[in-house]
Amino acid sequence: MNAREIRSQQSSRQLGDLLQSLFSVELLAPSRDLWLVSPWIGDIPILDNRAGQFQALAPEWDRGRIGLSRVLIYLAGLGTGIHVVTRDEGYNQGFIEEMREARRLVPGRIRLHDPSNRLHEKGILAERWYLEGSLNLTPSGISLNQERALLHVTPSVIAENRIEFMNRWPEEA
């Protein structure tokens, strides 16, 4: 198994930098489908565009931090199918509403799947990589808590998890 383990320390940038790198790859070569599975998802900063280093990938983006929802909507516009699996409650409501509104901009590209509100699994699955671990997609998850994440790049691991996700969450809510 070809996986890299990342363990973050309190107030480190390890996971934020990793997410920035992974989503940069997606902007350069978008996956057919991108799955986000997490009980808690917020509009966390994904790309730090304060120096304008992502202007070549998305010229319309202003300098500043680019949040998860904006990156996902942009990827959906490039043709990526976005699948969000999260609890439909409390903390997630702002992000869920943002994704519901975005479905009008990119019809048929953003799907909100209806899991049990007991969801505890966490992972982000793309065509060329799969990140799983203990981190929720929240500010605390990426920069405050001590978290563990595994980055898989082995095609068979990615394919197995894609099949698993598709079987577990076949329909959108």
C-beta of residue 63 within 8 angstroms of C-beta of residue 15: no
> Which residue type occupies 67?
G
The dotted CATH code for 3-168 is: 3.30.870.10
**Average pLDDT along the chain:** 89
Domain boundaries in the chain? 3-168
Which pLDDT tens digit goes with each residue over 93-120?
A: 999 999 999 999 999 999 999 777 788 8
Its pTM stands at 0.91
Task: Report d(CA 131, CA 5) in Å as an integer.
Answer: 10
Please give the share of the chain, as a percent, with pLDDT higher than 90: 68
Residues 6+ away with beta carbon under 8 Å from 120: 39
